[in-house]
Amino acid sequence: MPHDVAAAYATVAARVGPLLDAIAHERLALPAPARDAVLLFARRVGSLGDESEIATLFELDTLADIADEEDPRAFDLAAPASPDTRSGVRARQSHFSASALNAYAECARKWFYRYVCSAVEDAGSSASTYGTAFHAALEDFHAEFPQPDPTHETQMRTRLSGYVNWSFERFRADFGTAVELELQKRRAQRTAVRYIDWLLAEARRAPFTVIGREIAADLDLDGFAFIGYIDRLDRDDRTGAVSIYDYKTGSIATSAAEYRDKVREFRDFQLPFYYWARTALGDRVTRLALIPLKDALLDVQPVSLEVVPVAAPERLRGEPTTGTIAVADLERARARMIEICRDLTSGALQQFPATSDPSACTYCAYANACIDRPHDDRERFGR
């Protein structure tokens, strides 16, 4: 075994107990042939009687020679190296993103794995490819239909169906199997029908123009550069007010109040970041909304927050997917983003605690390697 590898094992053994025990009980992983060789070696050494037998085994005349500094065959064991001085971790990225801060807010350990170690490459899944393909289809669709018009309903439905087909074909290779591709495409087609239903209802209520698709959002927050992409940006044709939309193909808050709480509790920075990025460019942003595109069986009904000077109390009746958020809440979110960036770049962070919320681990790419992940009761028969 190479010297440095053996030294690494010896170092780890200082934490896990006797090295050979750890190898024998598979607490320390070793390739099978190396493991068998190590254990055989240990057994043979253990079975030797006295020093002379060991000396014979290692072709040394006597062990006494080893200790004799005058003897040219003698060698000294190296003194153990002193450990490096512990120092903190510093974020290395030149740009921050709202999703990186969301990851940090969700689980500091996950942020460390993903943004500091780049520990594993997330291979993605058919669910994430579904999201990518659907985003691309809607981007193409709104390039052709920036002003949804109810008199063009048939044409809009036909064209979106075509864009979905084309987009899912483009990403064909990223779906595991042809069956998976077909299932996800059908799911997207059903959801697209509901998307058009909602789009037409919106256009009838208040005509609007899609002024941005996958549009870059740059923002400098107190010297920290942020970058992101806004899925869709609309301008109300009558008032000029701007709405920011984020397509969501995964699980999201089910009510406006729930989403507003996430912003207030600094668990979600995405829409606040977009708000400040567009406000800095002079837009009058009055609405922030998440568009759910996950469930083909449900109507598309965005979780929408109107930006107001003072937020209304939570609604007890009426439509739970619409609500308000105060500018002060968005200002606090912005201040917290700056604070987190300062922490991450200070070099003072030495600990990245694992989350206490098991649901954060469900799709975490590091779950298999994360020894501190919280126990999930739903897995009690699965681990």
Contacts with ligand SF4 by CB under 6 A: the residue count is 13
Exactly one of 100, 107, 136, 210 binds ligand SF4 (CB under 6 A); that residue is 107
Give Cβ neighbours of residue 71 (< 8 Å, ≥ 6 apart).
65
Give Cβ neighbours of residue 52 (< 8 Å, ≥ 6 apart).
62
Packed helices 256-264 and 327-346: angle between N→C axes, nearest 10 degrees = 40
Q: Which is nearer to ligand SF4, 112 or 175 (CB)?
A: 112
Q: Which is nearer to ligand SF4, 277 or 370 (CB)?
A: 370
115 lines the binding site for ligand SF4 (CB under 6 A) = no
Exposure string for 117-154, b = 16+ CB within 10 A, e = fewer: eeeeeeeeebeebbbbbbbbbbbbbbeebeebeeeeee
Q: Which is nearer to ligand SF4, 83 or 382 (CB)?
A: 382
Exactly one of 97, 100, 105, 109 binds ligand SF4 (CB under 6 A); that residue is 109
100 lines the binding site for ligand SF4 (CB under 6 A) = no
Shortest distance in whole angstroms from residue 103 CB to ligand SF4:
9
Contact indicator for 321, 330 with CB cutoff of 8 Å: no
Shortest distance in whole angstroms from residue 123 CB to ligand SF4:
16
63 lines the binding site for ligand SF4 (CB under 6 A) = no
Exposure string for 49-63, b = 16+ CB within 10 A, e = fewer: eeeeeebeeeeeeee
Distances (CA, A) of 145 to 199, 224, 235, 238, 383: 11, 36, 14, 18, 50
Segment near ligand SF4 (CB under 6 A); pick from 178-186, 206-214, 220-228, 365-373: 365-373
366 lines the binding site for ligand SF4 (CB under 6 A) = yes
Q: Which is nearer to ligand SF4, 158 or 362 (CB)?
A: 362
- DSSP secondary structure string, 122-164? ----HHHHHHHHHHHHHHHHHHH-SS--GGGHHHHHHHHHHHH
Exposure string for 308-326, b = 16+ CB within 10 A, e = fewer: eeebeeeeeeeebbbbbbb
113 lines the binding site for ligand SF4 (CB under 6 A) = yes
Segment near ligand SF4 (CB under 6 A); pick from 47-55, 70-78, 155-163, 353-361: 353-361
Exactly one of 167, 270, 324, 355 binds ligand SF4 (CB under 6 A); that residue is 355
103 lines the binding site for ligand SF4 (CB under 6 A) = no
Three-state SS for 240?
Answer: coil
Segment near ligand SF4 (CB under 6 A); pick from 42-50, 109-117, 175-183, 323-331: 109-117
Kindly write out the interface string for residues 309-348 of this chain, putting x where it contacts ligand SF4 by CB under 6 A and - elsewhere: ----------------------------------------
CA atoms of 137 and 131, how far apart (whole Å):
10
Three-state SS for 44?
Answer: helix
305 lines the binding site for ligand SF4 (CB under 6 A) = no
Q: Which is nearer to ligand SF4, 203 or 360 (CB)?
A: 360
Interacting residues toward ligand SF4 by CB under 6 A: 107, 109-110, 113, 354-355, 360-361, 364, 366-367, 370, 373
